[in-house]
Amino acid sequence: MAISDRPAERHRRIAGQFTERVEGVTDWEAQSPVGDWVARDVVRHLIEWLPSLLSEGAGVSLPGGPSVDSDPVGAWKARADAVQALLDDPATADRVLVNPHIGELPLDRAVDQFYTTDVFLHTWDLARATGQHDRLDPEHCADLLAGMEPIEEILRTSGQYGPRVEVPDTADVQDRLLGFIGRDPSWAAAHP
């Protein structure tokens, strides 16, 4: 089933898949494919960066939740529910996010483009770190890659993506996307 292009529906599906991975974690200190992050840090990242973007750019305050340190599952679910409520709120359709780096965007589109995409990409990180199913929707991978490749220089200079990891010409679209964002698709957690 294809991922919807409607921001609320896309978030519901992608956040739901991330929730499944969060609920499947048995070791929150497991090394992740992201530099010096462990599994807990993947969730922490998704909890921490969005509130300031929304409050500074759209005057939106998300409700808090449990600490990622004490309850990563509860922290994630609280954030996912808060973002879903924002996207499901009919008033959100009339709101705009203003940011000096991205200009003005409809609020739901900004959340979709930046946050939901981040959740989608970090689903692989958490899954790979914790030995769970790590396959992402191939159509969405292809759509993201097609949208990112033309603006590669902007993305690289933003500091949000690492250097491209070369993958074989025969690599599937998920591996090409992962390589593009600076992940080694063959990365595996070290097990004692």
117 and 162 assigned to the same domain: no
At 19, give phi and psi (nearest 5°): -60, -40
Same domain membership, residue 115 and residue 83: yes
Number of domains within the chain: 2
pLDDT for 162: 84
Whether 172 and 79 share a structural domain: no
The model's pTM: 0.95
Together in a domain, 112 and 80: yes
Inter-CA distances, 101 with 39, 55, 80, 138, Å: 29, 15, 25, 29
Domain for residue 2, yes or no? no
| Residue 176 resides in a domain | yes
- Specify whether 83 is located in the same domain as 70: yes
Neighbours of 26 (CB within 10 A): 9
Domain-embedded: residue 190: no
Please enumerate in sequence order all residues whose Cβ is within 8 A of that of 111, keeping only pairs 6 or more positions apart, or say none. Answer: 7, 11, 50, 54, 83, 86, 87, 97
Assign residue 108 the CATH number of its domain.
1.20.120
Q: What is the pLDDT of residue 10?
A: 97
Provide the residue range defining the domain that includes 153.
Answer: 137-185
* Residues 44 and 85 placed together within one structural domain of the fold: yes
32 plus 126 within the same structural domain: yes
Q: Which residues pair with 31 in a beta bridge?
A: 38
Residue 192 lies in a domain: no
pLDDT at 190: 76
97, β-bridge pairs: 105
What are the pLDDT tens digits along the chain (192 aa)? 678 889 999 999 999 999 999 999 999 999 999 989 999 999 999 999 999 999 999 999 999 999 999 999 999 999 999 999 999 999 999 999 999 888 899 999 999 999 999 999 999 999 999 999 999 999 999 999 999 999 888 888 887 888 999 999 999 999 999 999 999 999 998 765
Please check whether residues 103 and 145 belong to one and the same domain. no
- Determine the distance from the C-alpha atom of residue 8 to the mean position of all C-alpha atoms in its chain, rounded to a whole number: 15
Whether residues 130 and 43 share a domain: the answer is: yes
Whole-number Cα distances in Å, 59 to 54, 101, 104: 6, 17, 14
